[in-house]
Amino acid sequence: MTTMSIPAGAHLIGGDWSTAAPGGTAVSDNPARPDEPVGEFPQGDASTAADAVTAAVDAQAAWARAGFGARARVLERAAVLFDERADELALLCTLEEGKTVPESRGEAVLSAETCRYQAGLAKVSSERIFPSNNPGETIRTVRAPLGVVGVITPWNFPLLIPVWKIAPALVTGNAVVWKPASNTPLSAVAIASIFTEAGLPPGVLNLVLGPGSMGGALVADDRVDGVTFTGSVGVGQGIRDTVTARNGRVQLELGGHNPCIVFGDADIDVAVAGVVNGAMGATGQKCTATRRIIAVGDVHDELVDRLVDAVTALKVGDGQDAATAIGPLVSAGARAEVADAVDQAKAEGAETLAVAGGTPDGPCFFAPTLFAGGTDLTITHEEVFGPVSTVLRVDDEDEAFALANDTDFGLTASVYTDDPWIVDRAVHELQAGLIKVNGPTTGSEIHAPFGGEKDSSGHAAREQGDTAQEFFTRTRTAYIKPGRPR
């Protein structure tokens, strides 16, 4: 049992915490212990979102004028607080989302790292100087903040995804209105508290809790200059249409159907560990999770035998239990969706290879499941957000690459091989924004660009890394020449 203090659910608007609940009060559940709710939170509505946008508009110009040094110092102090509270944040994340404590702790630590990195990056010039054909003239590009940014985040990384959006937005001089997922509202309160304690002026970061429709109102507000969103394809595409229709800027991360190709020369131990981790880690609730396992030629049978053993042995349980490898799904609704997809796969003829044993009872627990099948199965095309993956057999390299790219998504892909020619081909031909060689499709480092291709992300600037600040800034080109002729 945890002894941590759970933050009280509240909006943060213009520097004030508010429990105004025009939409009533909602409960944040613990998916592992449905009879032990984590806490309550107020449900805002369109007027709550509008108030937060007003506060952001009022605060933004002064924050932009404060200078990059002052803004970076806030992030540096936030980084210290994320580190100091890593255990506390990890427990809160596990209580609300369900993932294991080490998985949650990783998010807290990387949140600190992200703040430090983005603060340091603010001190690296993004300006450029060009020669001019006119004597005495200099051409200079500067970066101006976008203005007011809407941040809409999912529940699957309740700490890290918000921080990797909010930190670059803040340090480049934007004001933020953040609507987190309703499954993880108290983790959001804990993060907003950290930024406030780190010295962020009132109104620069605003947090509004409430349903998706409130997010819709935020997105539709034409005072919001840009929206960065991670979540489902349908919601993301709606946000894109709304924001671009008024010439706003939009950044989307909408999931994937990530392939992992295992070649005959792969180290089978490395491949099995990476495939299981990639497919089942964090209960398969990662946009980067391995959804298709493509076995090339003769490696198929040994790979399947080894995967069956590994998946069957996975221990499902409460994320707070140190022995647990796989926590519950985030909600009973999410579990129902995964169970329906598994039933559909069986009805379509998928062969069940492995099901993890000893899965506890409870509305959100689901046994990791491994299928074998072909491309006729819906599950080999549509994202199922849970611990379910399918092995597909191909005869050769060409077939493997064609199958890997046979998806509307393009977020991540991986190959297991020791052949440098195949590695080179993978890096150039796999249609994915992130490619791993001898590593799982999941996981990325916060100082490298992250994002997808095709339906996974569209064409927006990459998140994270030294490209993260591009989305949150406008490039202006200045032609500067002396005021008087010489």
Active site residues: 287
Give the shortest CB-428-to-ligand NDP separation in angstroms. Answer: 25
* Site mask for ligand NDP (CB under 6 A), range 137-176, x = bound: ---------------xxxxx--------------------
- Give the span between the Cα atoms of 440 and 261, in whole angstroms: 10
Of 381-420, which residues contact ligand NDP (CB under 6 A)? 383, 385
Residue nearer to ligand NDP on the CB measure, 372 or 388: 388
Give the shortest CB-12-to-ligand NDP separation in angstroms. Answer: 16
Residue nearer to ligand NDP on the CB measure, 30 or 153: 153
Residue nearer to ligand NDP on the CB measure, 229 or 263: 229
Residue nearer to ligand NDP on the CB measure, 276 or 334: 334
Strands 226-230 and 148-152: parallel
Give the shortest CB-55-to-ligand NDP separation in angstroms. Answer: 19
Residue nearer to ligand NDP on the CB measure, 70 or 245: 245
Give the shortest CB-244-to-ligand NDP separation in angstroms. Answer: 14
- CB under 6 A: which stretch of 224-232, 275-283, 312-320, 393-401 binds ligand NDP? 224-232
Among 121, 188, 200, 254, binds ligand NDP (CB under 6 A): 254
* Site mask for ligand NDP (CB under 6 A), range 323-362, x = bound: ----------------------------------------
The two tokens of residue 201 are 């002026």
Among 98, 158, 216, 452, binds ligand NDP (CB under 6 A): 216
Residue nearer to ligand NDP on the CB measure, 412 or 473: 412
Give the shortest CB-113-to-ligand NDP separation in angstroms. Answer: 20
The two tokens of residue 470 are 């591009």
Give the shortest CB-286-to-ligand NDP separation in angstroms. Answer: 7
The alpha carbon dihedral of 153, 158, 160, 163 has a sign of: positive
Among 118, 230, 389, 442, binds ligand NDP (CB under 6 A): 230
Residue nearer to ligand NDP on the CB measure, 170 or 239: 239
231 touching ligand NDP, by CB under 6 A: yes
Of 196-215, which residues contact ligand NDP (CB under 6 A)? 211-212, 215
Give the binding site for ligand NDP (CB under 6 A): 152-156, 179-182, 211-212, 215-216, 219, 230-232, 235, 238-239, 253-255, 287, 383, 385
